[in-house]
Amino acid sequence: MSVNQQAHTGLPYGQPQPGYQGYQQSGYGGQQMPGVHHSQYGAYNGPLPGYQQPAPPQGTLRAPPTSGAPLPTSGAPVPAGQPVYSQFGQGDVQNGIATSAVQMQRPSASQPFIPGTAPTPVSQPATFQQYGPPPTSAQQLTNHMAGMQIGSSTSAPPPAGLGYGPPTSVPPTSGSFTATGSGLYTSYSSSQGPPPVTMTHGLPPTSLSQGLSLAQPAFSGPPLSAQRLPQAPGFVPPPCSTGIGPSSYPPTTGAPRPSTMQGSQLPGQALTGLPTSQPNHVSSPPPHPSMSGPAMTGLQGPPPPTHPSQSGYQMQQNGSFGQVRGPQPNYGGAYPGTPNYGSQPAPPPPPKRLDPDSIPSPIQVIEDDRNNRGSEPFITGVRGQVPPLVTTNFLVKDQGNASPRYIRCTSYNIPCTSDMAKQSQVPLAAVIKPLAMLPTDETPPYLVDHGEPGPIRCNRCKAYMCPFMQFIEGGRRFQCCFCSCVTEVPPHYFQHLDHTGKRVDFYDRPELSLGSYEFLATVSYCKNNKFPNPPAFIFMIDVSYNAVKSGLVRLICEELKSLLDYMPREGNMEESAIRVGFVTYNKVLHFYNVKSSLAQPQMMVVSDVADMFVPLLDGFLVNVNESRTVIVSLLDQIPEMFADTRETETVFAPVIQAGMEALKAAECAGKLFIFHTSLPIAEAPGKLKNRDDRKLINTDKEKTLFQPQTSFYSNLAKDCVAQGCCVDLFLFPNQYLDVATLGVVPYQTGGTIYKYAYFQLETDQERFLNDLRKDVQKEVGFDAVMRVRTSTGIRATDFFGAFYMSNTTDVELAGLDCDKTITVEFRHDDKLSEDSGALLQCALLYTNCAGQRRLRIHNLSLNCCTQLADLYRNCETDTLINFLAKFAYRGVLNNPVKTVRDTLINQCAQILACYRKNCASPSSAGQLILPECMKLLPVYLNCVLKSDVLQPGAEVTTDDRAYIRQLVSSMDVAETNVFFYPRLLPLTKVDVDSDTLPAAIRNSEERLSKGDMYLLENGLNIFVWVGVNVQQGLIQNLFGVSSFNHISSTLNTLPVLENPFSKRVRSIIDMFQAQRSRYMKLIIVKQEDKLEMLFKHFLVEDKSMSGGASYVDFLCHMHKEIRQLLS
């Protein structure tokens, strides 16, 4: 069946579907392990022919680097390796294999599923099959099996077991563990090191067992079984990783693996092996066999010190999680610091300190996911698949569900009932980035034009036509997948169904076969029933004394001259349709007439700031090319005109009003770029006073610091939104300027705030200009309304992000750019069914940069479960953290920060406790068991708790906090991930000849070596930390100075030096810069220099200066909380 259909997939839309092809490529690289399994795959490939072999080249390209390490390890496979890749190129299959081979810690299972999935879901079958990569025969079988299980699995755990039966990786792993457990540390070492592999498979959750290693063996028995149960279901989706791995590879089943693996891995394994292993056991040092919890990797940690009461140990352990470094082994290779596992005795007596290496490591999880899932395209055809981590580089093939680049959910398996949801406390939320930029090798959403009648929609709920709609009665009607209402198919849209009940034109219509697509909106979707005019950009420049003196005004004007040529344009248009206008202001506003017919620009001063209006219509908003000479003349003159200004006061609200009025007068939507320097104290509406007061911190009034000091701006924002006027604010404060208030309008209009405190031309120019360029150039939609429709049973109840809402369902965005994210929380208002799952449809109506009104639709189908274990197995911690952070950051507006923090901790404790209670195998109360998918929850949560908003350090200003608060509110998952847990790379480990990055290390000072240099990025800043003992040669190479002491800490760029090391480091930095929506500030930190304090702030696993707990301490604290909940 699949074969035939696949043929269709090949060329559904006329275009070669670059997307599909593309995906495969990128994915491949990642797979290191593949080598090993090649032989197997080889077989698969055969069958796969169906797939195009588009990207072999790419595959190879990427592959080499990553694979390198692993290959050798595998030995035999190595040789095969290269050739193999080529084969891989062909199919998704390969990827699948690869992943499996690697063993997905995560849901990576995707691949195997793909094939399998098809069969499972009742409704889906058809679609899935088609999409499904033509799984190879062999795989297919297995896959199918898996798929089957899925369906069933949800209902009952056992089935999984059955399905996987053979694979039963679980048992094996567990077995191994137990063995190891008993074997004591030695065993661990073995298991963990290499075994990681096994570990991963077997145990989704990592369990931290407290000191009781010895005791555990005993447990092992029972736990295993217990755990299995949960696993079974788990396998289906993500967990599959564990299950599948084994399943697919019969050989590798159970116990055997570990041993084999170890052998091979030892050499190179650090990367490959470790990662996998870690996830599971993270903490697991003490190997308690029990922990092996095949079921879930448990973090076995000593009971948090906090609980003295608990067990004897605890007291001792307090400081640290007892588990010594059993785990280290994994890293072993990587970190010099950490010796080895085996040696680490972890003798029976519980160690006093919890070894940091024994607790779940974000680095490891990220690496593992990257290795496991990076090489295969993520095919969205299957319902409820958990996508790879945001840190993993993967391709997406849209086969009916929106790409995770558009939507990510906290969980891909939703509890069927609200009781379950409440019990678990896991928030159900989707982080939606409707206009996300896709990598160049993925196809942007197709545009569907239904002409005059407009998009086809459900009569009742108005949902848009999507792949989940069911056509009935021979195609004459369709039943809505959201509300079940039956709607006539309009004659022009009628199409016959084939024997499977699918429309014959299925592949010709993106809205029937893809998860994301766009409709061309008809006039009835437009304001006032008129097609919109092309949008406009208005540049509004503060020309008060500070701005002029700092050189800012001149800088902006110079930059604008060239920047105006790079405004976003639609598709292949020759020039941007966007018109531009210019305003300068201090206490009064100056508008400029830059009509092309003028010899000189004309300046129009409006000093009636109390009652702002636009003084001109014609000539204010102009086409850049037509008015170029006048514009250039204007930009030349502005700095001169105000060169001698003495005006220090500024207004702010009238500036926004002016821009808004201008857009209103021009009857278009648009964006204001406001460059502002100071607290607006001039007499005008929206005048502010300095109310900064650090004494409020940690009081009940602290929240006022986050609230706007007047409601004026909220009302203004409302007006702006009504006009489609988006405000981007560039701030250059030298002192407090009340970001909390000034930010209201940008925030509610979907705009962005950039802040450059103490702006200095020399140091901040590049950062500002890059931000400005990016901001001007980036894709943006205007006058947008977003609505999220859901299956009956759940409802979008809460929204987070930069937007305005006038009712409870519609998110209104004056502007929405490709970096903006909206987070939607769902709650049950009824029951969901496992069979039909839960569907989301996010519809965004917007005006694109050419003035075309469009509807962008993203569809996503999720599974539903009646077993909590399914929920826990399909969660995405990064998304969860993203949501929790946004939730907390909004909470500080109305609650004392302490309350917010406690709420956060409490909720997470409940989540974990619920898991522990309902899903984890019975074990000692002193054991901390974390769900596999959430094992990083504590560390990330701690980062959120320690963030500037929730726990400000002494050097953090009120404005910074307000700024961060707003910033985070519209961050996507990738951004929050790196923001809360910065990426730290050892520069000295950089391989100058390769494109690969050195392995990241954990954010802890003890991981830094005096002899090394490190690079840390969090999305806002990049630090280059230089140890005191770094080789002079490196210093010379990187900084061009002879010694450590000569390095200037005021550098804001690295000197351009012609040596491989310098080039490589700079290219890494450039690469990072390109990845982020903002240009990061580069700060050079010398060890033991005063700036180091700042740097240390970002070493988030350590105790922070402001009182934030270290990771280890926090984990103990969490454990205590959980135990309290459980008892």
Contacts with another protein, residue ranges (CB under 8 A): 588, 590-592, 598-608, 611, 613, 615-619, 633-634, 637, 641
543 or 985: CB nearest another protein: 543
Residue pointed to by tokens 């939607």: 824
CB 622 → another protein: shortest distance, Å? Answer: 13
646 or 1090: CB nearest another protein: 646
860 bridge partner residues: 840
Q: How many CB atoms lie within 10 A of CB 46?
A: 15
600 or 698: CB nearest another protein: 600
CB 904 → another protein: shortest distance, Å? Answer: 50
Q: What are phi and psi of 950, to 5 degrees?
A: -90, -20
CB distance 820 to 801 below 8 Å: yes
Task: State how far the Cα of 1115 lies from the Cα of 1118, in Å rounded to an integer.
Answer: 5
CB 670 → another protein: shortest distance, Å? Answer: 19
Q: What are phi and psi of 726, to 5 degrees?
A: -95, 140
CB 606 → another protein: shortest distance, Å? Answer: 5
Task: State how far the Cα of 878 lies from the Cα of 894, in Å rounded to an integer.
Answer: 25
Residue pointed to by tokens 């009569």: 459
Cα three-residue angle 857-863-868, rounded to 5 degrees: 140
Cα three-residue angle 209-211-213, rounded to 5 degrees: 75
CB 548 → another protein: shortest distance, Å? Answer: 16
Pairing verdict, β 470-472 and 477-479 = antiparallel
Contacts of 21 (CB under 8 A, 6+ apart): 52, 54, 55
H, E, C per residue of 687-714: CCCCCCCHHHCCCHHHHHHCCCCCCHHH
234 or 615: CB nearest another protein: 615
Helix, coil or strand: residue 831: coil
Task: Specify the DSSP class assigned to residue 231.
Answer: H
- The helix, strand and coil proportions of the chain, stated in percent and rounded to the nearest 5, come to 45, 15, 40
526 or 641: CB nearest another protein: 641
CB 814 → another protein: shortest distance, Å? Answer: 24
637 or 907: CB nearest another protein: 637
Dihedral angle computed from the Cα positions of residues 401, 404, 406 and 410, in that order, rounded to the nearest 10 degrees: 100
Pairing verdict, β 486-488 and 477-479 = antiparallel
CB 537 → another protein: shortest distance, Å? Answer: 20
Between the alpha carbon of residue 66 and those of residues 62, 260, 374, 576, the distances in Å are 7, 22, 10, 41
599 or 954: CB nearest another protein: 599
Closest CA to 949 of 976, 920, 922: 976
Closest CA to 189 of 70, 345, 56, 24: 345
Task: State how far the Cα of 671 lies from the Cα of 468, in Å rounded to an integer.
Answer: 36
CB distance 540 to 672 below 8 Å: yes
Task: State how far the Cα of 688 lies from the Cα of 856, in Å rounded to an integer.
Answer: 39
614 or 939: CB nearest another protein: 614
595 or 898: CB nearest another protein: 595
Task: State how far the Cα of 41 lies from the Cα of 92, in Å rounded to an integer.
Answer: 11
23 or 582: CB nearest another protein: 582
CB 629 → another protein: shortest distance, Å? Answer: 13
CB 782 → another protein: shortest distance, Å? Answer: 23
Chain centroid, CA 1028 distance in Å:
35
Tokens at 119, concatenated:
């069969």
Q: How many CB atoms lie within 10 A of CB 493?
A: 17
CB 682 → another protein: shortest distance, Å? Answer: 11
Between the alpha carbon of residue 783 and those of residues 507, 772, 853, 1017, the distances in Å are 32, 22, 9, 34
218 or 641: CB nearest another protein: 641
CB distance 208 to 301 below 8 Å: yes
663 or 1080: CB nearest another protein: 663
Q: Give the type of residue at 1070.
A: D
95 or 586: CB nearest another protein: 586
CB 593 → another protein: shortest distance, Å? Answer: 9
566 or 613: CB nearest another protein: 613
CB 580 → another protein: shortest distance, Å? Answer: 17
CB 524 → another protein: shortest distance, Å? Answer: 24
681 or 1054: CB nearest another protein: 681
Helix, coil or strand: residue 488: strand
Question: Which run of H or E residues covers position 780?
Answer: strand 780-790
CB 9 → another protein: shortest distance, Å? Answer: 53
Task: State how far the Cα of 1089 lies from the Cα of 778, in Å rounded to an integer.
Answer: 38
CB 523 → another protein: shortest distance, Å? Answer: 21
CB 549 → another protein: shortest distance, Å? Answer: 18
682 or 941: CB nearest another protein: 682
CB 602 → another protein: shortest distance, Å? Answer: 5
517 bridge partner residues: 446, 857
613 or 758: CB nearest another protein: 613
For every residue of 629-686, DSSP letters joined together read: HHHHHHHHHHHHHTTT--------HHHHHHHHHHHHHHT--EEEEEEE-S---SSSTT
Pairing verdict, β 579-585 and 536-542 = parallel
CB 393 → another protein: shortest distance, Å? Answer: 51
Quick one: CA dihedral 1100, 1103, 1107, 1108, positive or negative? Answer: positive
533 or 996: CB nearest another protein: 533
Task: State how far the Cα of 135 lies from the Cα of 942, in Å rounded to an integer.
Answer: 42
